[in-house]
Amino acid sequence: AYFLEILISEPEEIFEHRKHALSAPKRALPKNRTQHRVDAARRFRDDLEPGLFWTRIGRFAWHWLRLLLWRFAVNTQDSTIHALRMRNSLKAVAVVAFAAFFVWLLWFLVQDKNIPILEPEGLVAQKERNLMYVATLLMLAIVLPVFALTGVIAWRYRAANRRAKYLPNWEHNSVEEAIWWAVPCFIIAILSVLTWHSTHDLDPFRPLPGEAKTIQVVSLNWKWLFIYPDEGIAAVNSITIPIGQPIEFRITADSPMNSFWIPQLGGQIYSMTGMVTKLHLITNTPGTYTGASANISGKGFSGMTFSVHAVAPDAFAAWVASTSANSMLLDESAYDTLAKPSEREPVRYYGKVQSGLFETIVGRFSAGMGSHGH
């Protein structure tokens, strides 16, 4: 901020000598310039402190640079106008330098960083990413020309440009009106069609082709419980799924409202007490992905993550057999202990799960509320 302030500030000499600039002979310097240099050097010597050495050096160098630029400006016939142009040029340099720094900072922050939603590993996530790309490009078709024209108009009609035509009574141009109404309407029409189609195509409740495997999900404070009803096993903060097979997540909550999200496989969906929401996902790529809560739910929210292991069908069958051999039982009593608030809960597996436990959890909050399909 300090650098930008001194960069765009007008040199004091412009104020001091502007009224004499037009009448001054060419290449003539102000009479007090020599004394001014001596005073500046004396102030620099007297005020110099060891801790501020490089700061003083920088300010001193910048001061003399501005004096040289001013000397270049007064060596013209119309020094006032050229001084103003020099000041505007400095402002332009400042803006460009700041924009370049911002772009560099943005690049530095994202380089070598994985952005999960831009690296999909599932059919649903790929469609969502493509939709985001198309919508962004369509909107940039308006945004970029608007920003470009803003700069062009500001530069074209600046005070120092005497060639710009001044039209204070301009009111209407049919061609321009047609362009800036027709183009946005056309883009909005395209976005409307895309939105209508994608809303139905990416409906989280819509089953994917093929026989789906059901996994029941319960969001707790501050952990996730995953129940495999067909296999009779369960896991905390870890999911193992077979590749190439659709997965139907049936999601509820035993805590404040939360949001279930696996960025590389698909979008998020809320989990709420007494209700069951659904999310259908699939992946054909083996790997380990990260899931998380996308809704702030208290002090343990930041650690409410889980791992998703996508494995081949044979490896999934072996994992089920290994987990089933675990002697831990998840019944209502064990569940009540698990449901107590805790942070950064370690992964654990249950080899046996009480039949109908998921429905019991939902029923604790839906008694007297009727049936809930979503």
CA distance 156 to 172: 20
Per the DSSP assignment, residues forming a β-bridge with 21 are none
Reply yes or no on whether the pLDDT at 265 is more than 50. yes
Reply yes or no on whether the pLDDT at 327 is more than 60. yes
CA distances for 120 relative to 136, 199, 211, 275, 304, angstroms:
17, 19, 22, 29, 21
The structure's pTM equals: 0.68
| Residue 371 banded pLDDT, cuts 50, 70, 90 | very low
pLDDT for 29-74, tens place per residue? Answer: 445 555 655 565 555 555 555 545 566 666 667 766 666 665 555 5
- Using DSSP bridges, classify how beta strands 269-271 and 305-311 pair: parallel, antiparallel or unpaired: unpaired
SS3 letters across 191-245: HHHHHHHHHHHCCCCCCCCCCCEEEEEEEECCEEEEEECCCCEEEECEEEEECCC
Mean per-residue pLDDT over the chain, rounded: 81
Token pair 């300090």 in the structure block, residue = 2
pLDDT for 94-106, tens place per residue? Answer: 778 888 888 888 7
pLDDT at 351: 96
pLDDT at 311: 97
The b/e string for 270-281 (b: 16+ C-beta within 10 A; e otherwise) is: bbbbbbbbbbbb
pLDDT for 237-252, tens place per residue? Answer: 999 999 999 999 999 9
Across the beta sheet with 247-253, the strand order is 277-281, 247-253, 213-220, 223-228, 233-236, 348-350
- Using DSSP bridges, classify how beta strands 348-350 and 269-271 pair: parallel, antiparallel or unpaired: unpaired
